[in-house]
Structure 1
Amino acid sequence: MSESPPKGQLELGINRTPEKDRNFHLGGRSFYFFDFDDNIAFLTTPLVLFHKDNKSEVQISSGDFAQYHSSIGESGPYADYKIDYCDLTGTFRNFRDLQIEELEKLQGKRQVFVQDVMSALGMPDTQWKGPSWECFYHAAFNQRPLSVITARGHHPETLKEGIRVFVQKKVLPIEPNYLSVFPVSHKETRVLLGDPEFREGTAELKQRAIRRSVEQAIETYGYSPHHRFGMSDDDPKNIQLIAEEMTRLKARFPEMSFFMIETQHGNFIKHEIKNNGLFTSERKEGLSQLSFFESDRPKS
């Protein structure tokens, strides 16, 4: 009896052939920028809030944190809690790398991010695949230049190791063609982005990462007025500042195309940044981000 094909997203690639960029014949490339959490995938990595008075802890998901972080300590369900910025014991401790000794590595211990990806893949696809997964798969399968721009503070190689698990578990056919990896809470990355005193917020750092990634794309692949850039994110504040940064980039490179995708609450809202700085917005239920750069091509 022949073996059945592996379950999951890899099935989409069995009879699928790589496609050239939409503007390849004109010298253009499509560059895909992704936030990770709640975009590429839903992980169970918890954030930790601390009660203002008794210091008790409460864990919340990254999706809830994106929704409520502006009101934490002031109003809403987390009015009595606060954020602790200590990397070792604070709110984001699970979003940072651990110090793992060589013996522990030999015994198979891995960073939290890698473990959480492995755990997620033990759940049904519908539980771990984020709204941008299909586009991420498409970009990796076709080896589009791809950037991961995330608020996490892991080393860039840790993020790559976690994404490599998708390949090892056969839900992604090949490792992405990385243009850049910017975990903007990682201290060395913050210095690289021009924040040596660690004063900038996540959204501001994501702006810088987008700018660096666009510049790196042009440096690596050459200038073309037919290049296309897009970024997906789910955090409302990040979305606002991403739009601002892409508006500046559009003014700097007016012939290139820039897109922003909102994926908060499972929605998929596409904005194209025009030369006048305005957005043409489109909301479609159940739309794969595969149409992000290729709206005239049917979903494969």
Structure 2
Amino acid sequence: MELPHVTSALDEALARFEGARLAFVDGVWVNESVRGRDLKYYIFDWDDNVLCMPTRIHMERLNSKGQWVPHVCSTATYSVIRADTAHYRFPQGRRELAFVEFQDTRTPLGGGNFLEDLDRALDAIAAGRRTPPPSFATFRKTLVEGRLFAIVTARGHASETLRQGVERFIERVLTPVERETMLINLRGYSYCFDHVQTFPSQTAVLRRYLSLNRYHAITSPDFDRRLAEEAPGLTTQEGRKRFAIRDFVDHLIRILDTTGMAALRLPISIGFSDDDPRNVRAVQAYITDVLSRRFPTVKFCVYDTSDGAGAHKMTISGQLELPLE
């Protein structure tokens, strides 16, 4: 995706960096001030947290006559009913039949439509039919600032599908000024910490940034294969999310060590947001019992966005202020 070069957008973006230290390198602007920027990173659940996707879940419900009947529901509804196994179940007891629309393979019942569903979700926001979910603005700001992030979702798509979704989000949501601002920040990180002196194209800068992030669909075949090698027997959604979160934290620490950013001794903060209270409780316990002990210098914060309107913050270690309140 080649981002358009709009002079007026670039001029407006540069005006937003008032007081920052900018450099003109290889014919483009870079933000040298990122060298002293706080090290904040983010982990996002996707559905009903970043976007309210129209993807449906195919369940069965026990009706008043004692019969199991088809019941199609949204992800928001599923987060409420999934613990009620007395009244709701997977068709034939098979999870893959319930979540057939949450995979890349197209079937008669659905599936393979992640980018189409993403477009429909963004169309609903643009038309005013739906309010952006609680973490929509934070995710947008994360991209503009060029901060690293992870998508950790219970979907079954390939990581590349999720990455393409983020690229589509950038293409459709960020304004020309925000895209220019993002590129100036991204070049700043490459210039300051990777000692990059040449910037071939906007597309190359963006693709490198997207490649540094993590995209974990925890029910995907790829994720299953990885768990079989590294954590066999891990079957619950909460356990899989914990594994994905740990992977991202380890990934971040490696990057900080490799680039020398860790030597700056700046505070490291990681925020996690999810709309499913069950996941929130599991992650909160995992951070308290495991991550905060393994990474005592990292500040963790969990945001419960289940009410759909805002976020309830739970600080586990240190203090991280996310613009969710």
Give the TM interval when normalised to the shorter protein.
Answer: 0.7 to 0.9
CA distance in 1, matches of 2:89, 2:105: 23
1:141 aligns with 2:144: yes
CA distance in 2, matches of 1:258, 1:21: 27
Picking from 281, 298, 302, the partner of 1:256 is 298
Structure 1 gap segments, 5+ residues each: 1-11, 101-109, 282-287, 293-300
Give the 3 Å change call, closer, same or farther, for CA 68–87 of structure 1 in structure 2.
Answer: closer
Partner of 2:117: 116
- % of aligned pairs identical? 22
Q: Do the aligned partners of 2:227 and 2:234 also contact (CA within 8 Å) in 1?
A: no
Partner of 1:42: 52
CA distance in 2, matches of 1:43, 1:54: 30
CA distance in 1, matches of 2:244, 2:151: 9
CA distance in 1, matches of 2:80, 2:224: 24
Partner of 2:285: 244
1:37 Cα deviation from its structure 2 partner:
0.5
Q: Do the aligned partners of 1:23 and 1:227 also contact (CA within 8 Å) in 2?
A: no
1:93 aligns with 2:100: yes
Picking from 58, 67, 70, the partner of 2:83 is 70
For the pair shown, which has the larger CA radius of gyration, 1 or 2?
Answer: 2
Question: Per-residue CA shift, 1:169-224, capped at 9, x if unaligned?
Answer: 24463666442111101121133245676651111100011111101100112245
Partner of 2:153: 150
Partner of 1:220: 255
Which range moved further: 263-272 or 163-172?
A: 163-172
CA distance in 2, matches of 1:171, 1:263: 23
Question: Per-residue CA shift, 1:129-185, capped at 9, x if unaligned?
Answer: 210011101110011011101111100111112222223324463666442111101
Which range moved further: 220-229 or 14-23?
A: 14-23
Q: Amino acid of the residue matched to residue 272 of structure 2?
A: M
SS in 2 for 1:123: helix
Partner of 1:33: 43
1:186 aligns with 2:220: yes
Q: Do the aligned partners of 1:190 and 1:196 also contact (CA within 8 Å) in 2?
A: no
TM normalised by structure 2 equals 0.68
CA distance in 1, matches of 2:39, 2:67: 54
CA distance in 1, matches of 2:45, 2:155: 10
Query: What's the Cα RMSD here?
Result: 3.4
1:98 Cα deviation from its structure 2 partner:
1.1
Give the 3 Å change call, closer, same or farther, for CA 142–241 of structure 1 in structure 2.
Answer: same
CA distance in 1, matches of 2:35, 2:144: 16
Partner of 1:274: 317
Partner of 1:83: 90
Aligned residues: 255
TM normalised by structure 1 equals 0.73
Question: Per-residue CA shift, 1:56-111, capped at 9, x if unaligned?
Answer: 3211110111112101x31xxxx1x31146466x11111111159xxxxxxxxx93
Q: Amino acid of the residue matched to residue 104 of structure 2?
A: D
Q: Do the aligned partners of 2:234 and 2:240 also contact (CA within 8 Å) in 1?
A: no
Give the 3 Å change call, closer, same or farther, for CA 46–274 of structure 1 in structure 2.
Answer: same
Q: Amino acid of the residue matched to residue 168 of structure 1?
A: E
Q: Amino acid of the residue matched to residue 58 of structure 1?
A: H
Which range moved further: 230-239 or 91-100?
A: 91-100
CA distance in 2, matches of 1:57, 1:13: 52
More helix by share: 2
Partner of 1:285: none
SS in 1 for 2:273: strand
Partner of 1:230: 271
Give the 3 Å change call, closer, same or farther, for CA 65–14 of structure 1 in structure 2.
Answer: farther
